């Protein structure tokens, strides 16, 4: 029997929370307090506890969660920040908007995360930080990366937009570095109903400065101690996020179950995600790679299965960004962008949905 399988249905993903959200909205409206109130405050405490960090500062988006800590470090303006060449464009834009130069480092073709063995060759006397990205929900090799950062006195910011609840060794995403940057864009494992983001940190001074930066450089009304931003996590979104956070582990566990069906069921003609003993992956995205990617995507569509590509164009080939990277080739990044395909995997997909996708892919 043929089925219709969406890549993602945000309506269905949020359906289990509908009654909760209606109540949350009613309480919010009645509270009469709509910016930086008790909901943001409580969510920050709860999310910090979830990540195991001392602090969490809610901001307006995942992009801002990258910009604000980098801006807070106040590096000289020609500073360089290392970033993986196959990341989503927001990681790169975050560095640019903070006033620095992004320097691309190729990923490890097995994990799709920044390759620690290639980092040292990209360090110059202008390098001040590494922006690691835990892509698709798998954490980077933070053990190796934190050692390099210590040796060269570099800051680390983790882009955790795709890795809420992911673990490397004994610590969660957002607790391995100077600052963790989270997005709560609706499709994320912890997604709200609009834009939202947060920064986690164990650094008291940085946390304090971020409280100023997100609010026009002010902690006391009409007193501005820094040139800041307007980047506050919305009170209503924080209230929704508090409800969803309670079920984040269940969401991650559901996605891990679906991922294991793909891992076991899909033919080995496809390159499947690698699994490392020291990592707990949360599969924001489940990707496979094949040279026949475009034909497979079309065939799945004809069989009622929608897929996505994360991402179709590499950052160094994007019209708005290629001037930054000259003629340097990033062959691994290009290879990933040409061959990767993201399969349906979300809180609203069932085991039967995934079995159907597996069956169709194996018959291709």
Confirm or reject binding of residue 228 to ligand PLP (CB under 6 A).
no
The residue number whose beta carbon is nearest to ligand PLP equals: 62
Question: Residues touching ligand PLP: how many (CB under 6 A)?
Answer: 15
Nearer to ligand PLP, 291 or 312 (CB): 312
Contact between 217 and 227 under an 8 Å Cβ cutoff? The reply is yes
- The rounded distance, in Å, linking the Cα atoms of 187 and 309 is 14
- Residue window 317-346: x/- pattern of binding to ligand PLP, with contact defined by CB under 6 A: ------------------------------
In angstroms, what is the minimal distance from the CB of 205 to ligand PLP? 25
62 interacts with ligand PLP by CB under 6 A: yes
310-332 per-residue burial string, b: 16 or more CB within 10 A, e: under 16? bbeebbbeeeebeebbeeeebeb
Write down the H helix ranges in the chain.
Answer: 10-14, 18-31, 38-51, 62-73, 89-97, 142-152, 204-213, 235-245, 248-265, 293-302, 331-339, 351-363
Distance CA 364, CA 360 (A): 6
Among 47, 73, 88, 229, binds ligand PLP (CB under 6 A): 88
Distance between CA atoms of residues 164 and 234, nearest Å: 19
The residue within the footprint of ligand PLP, chosen from 40, 90, 92, 145 (CB under 6 A), is: 90
Q: Which span (61-69, 221-229, 243-251, 319-327) binds ligand PLP, by CB under 6 A?
A: 61-69
Q: Smallest distance, Å, CB 179 to ligand PLP?
A: 13
User: Residue 256: CB partners within 8 Å, gap ≥ 6?
Assistant: 281, 282, 283
Near ligand PLP by CB under 6 A: residue from 84, 165, 197, 315: 197
Pick out residues in 122-161 that bind ligand PLP (CB under 6 A): 133, 159, 161
Find how far residue 228's CA is from the centre of its chain: 24
Q: Which of 14, 91, 202, 287 binds ligand PLP (CB under 6 A)?
A: 91
Decide if residue 283 touches ligand PLP (CB under 6 A): no
Q: Is 162 among the residues that bind ligand PLP (CB under 6 A)?
A: yes
Phi-psi region of 213 (alpha: psi -120 to 50; beta: other; left: phi over 0): alpha
Between residues 61 and 303, which has the closer beta carbon with respect to ligand PLP? 61
At its nearest, how many Å lie between ligand PLP and the CB of residue 61? Answer: 4
CB of 2 to ligand PLP, least distance (A): 32
Q: Which of 185, 216, 325, 356 binds ligand PLP (CB under 6 A)?
A: 185
Q: Does 173 bind ligand PLP (CB under 6 A)?
A: no
> Which tokens sit at 102?
């992004």
Q: 208: Cβ–Cβ under 8 A, 6 or more apart, which residues?
A: none
Count Cβ neighbours within 10 Å for each residue of 334-359 and write b for 16 or more, e otherwise: bbbbebbbbbbbbbbbeeebbebbbe
Do residues 180 and 50 lie in contact, with contact meaning Cβ atoms separated by under 8 Å? no
Candidate list 85, 183, 202, 333; residue touching ligand PLP; CB under 6 A: 183
Q: Measure the CA–CA gap between 174 and 199, rounded to whole angstroms.
A: 8
Shortest Å distance, C-beta 265 to ligand PLP: 27
Identify which of residues 61 and 175 has a Cβ nearer to ligand PLP in the complex: 61
The single residue among 40, 57, 59, 63 that binds ligand PLP, judged by CB under 6 A, is 63
Which one of 6-14, 85-93, 257-265, 352-360 is the stretch in contact with ligand PLP (CB under 6 A)? 85-93
Q: Nearest approach, Cβ of 309 to ligand PLP (angstroms)?
A: 14
Q: Is the CB of residue 168 less than 8 Å from the CB of residue 143?
A: yes
Return the closest-CA partner of residue 85 out of 63, 66, 101, 107: 107
Short-list 49, 52, 42, CA closest to 239: 42
Give the footprint of ligand PLP on this chain (CB under 6 A). 61-63, 87-88, 90-91, 133, 159, 161-162, 183, 185, 195, 197
């Amino acid at each position: 029997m043929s089925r219709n399988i969406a890549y993602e249905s945000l309506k269905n993903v949020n359906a289990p929370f509908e009654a909760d959200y209606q109540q949350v909205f009613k309480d919010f409206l009645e509270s009469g307090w709509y910016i930086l109130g008790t909901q943001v405050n409580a969510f920050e405490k709860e999310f910090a506890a979830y990540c195991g960090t001392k602090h969490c500062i809610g901001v307006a988006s995942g992009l801002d969660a990258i910009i604000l800590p980098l801006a807070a470090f106040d590096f000289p303006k020609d500073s360089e920040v290392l970033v993986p060449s196959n990341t989503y464009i927001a990681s790169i834009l975050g560095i640019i908007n903070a006033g620095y130069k992004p320097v691309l480092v190729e990923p490890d073709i097995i994990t799709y995360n920044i390759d620690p063995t290639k980092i040292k060759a990209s360090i110059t006397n202008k390098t001040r930080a590494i922006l690691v990205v835990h892509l698709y929900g798998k954490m980077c090799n933070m053990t190796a990366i934190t050692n390099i950062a210590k040796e060269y006195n570099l800051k680390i910011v983790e882009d955790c937009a795709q890795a809420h609840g992911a673990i490397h060794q004994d610590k969660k995403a957002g607790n391995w570095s100077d600052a963790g940057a989270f997005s709560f864009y609706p499709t994320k494992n912890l997604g709200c109903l609009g834009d939202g983001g947060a920064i986690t940190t164990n650094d008291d001074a940085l946390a304090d400065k971020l409280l100023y930066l997100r609010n026009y450089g002010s902690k006391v009304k009409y007193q501005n101690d820094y040139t800041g931003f307007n980047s506050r996590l919305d009170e209503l979104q924080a209230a929704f996020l508090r409800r969803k956070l309670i079920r984040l582990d269940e969401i991650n566990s559901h996605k891990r179950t679906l991922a294991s069906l793909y891992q076991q069921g899909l033919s080995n003609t496809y390159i499947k995600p690698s699994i490392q003993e020291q990592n707990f992956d949360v599969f924001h995205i489940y990707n496979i790679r094949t040279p026949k990617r475009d034909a497979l995507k079309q065939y799945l569509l004809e069989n009622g299965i929608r897929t996505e590509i994360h991402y179709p164009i590499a950052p160094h080939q994007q019209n708005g960004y290629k001037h930054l990277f000259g003629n340097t080739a990033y062959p691994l990044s290009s290879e990933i962008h040409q061959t990767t395909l993201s399969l349906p995997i979300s809180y609203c997909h069932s085991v039967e949905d995934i079995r159907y996708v597996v069956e169709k892919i194996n018959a291709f």
